[in-house]
Amino acid sequence: MLKQLSRFERTSKVLILGFVALMAVSLVLFFRPNSGSTNIEPTKSTEVLATVSSDVVTVGEFATQKQNIQARFSQYSAQISLAQIG
């Protein structure tokens, strides 16, 4: 097959360019970041995360508390993150 393509230089260039164009289009169409996902604000979520005794903790309450803790730590030092604290 390579010998046949070497005989038809113009045809081989068209085939290669067509393949490159097909790959580029497929990358754009199929690998878009955040395709199909919805951006939901976690602080507004009412999904139940945990139940402690008879109290219910929602994802929104947890996200709000996490943001408050991060804000407190950022006041003292920008070098400390929640990941480092555990």
Predicted confidence pLDDT, tens digits, the chain (86 residues) = 667 666 767 777 888 899 999 999 988 888 776 666 566 677 788 888 889 888 999 888 988 988 888 788 777 666 666 666 66
CA distances from 65 to 15, 25, 37, 60 (A): 58, 43, 25, 9
Q: What is the pLDDT of residue 84?
A: 66
Cβ 11 vs Cβ 5: under 8 Å: yes
Q: What predicted TM-score, i.e. pTM, was given to this entire model?
A: 0.45
Q: What is the pLDDT of residue 19?
A: 94
Q: What is the pLDDT of residue 22?
A: 94
Measured CA to CA, the distance from residue 60 to residue 42 in angstroms comes to 6
Helix (H, G, I), strand (E, B) or coil at 5: helix
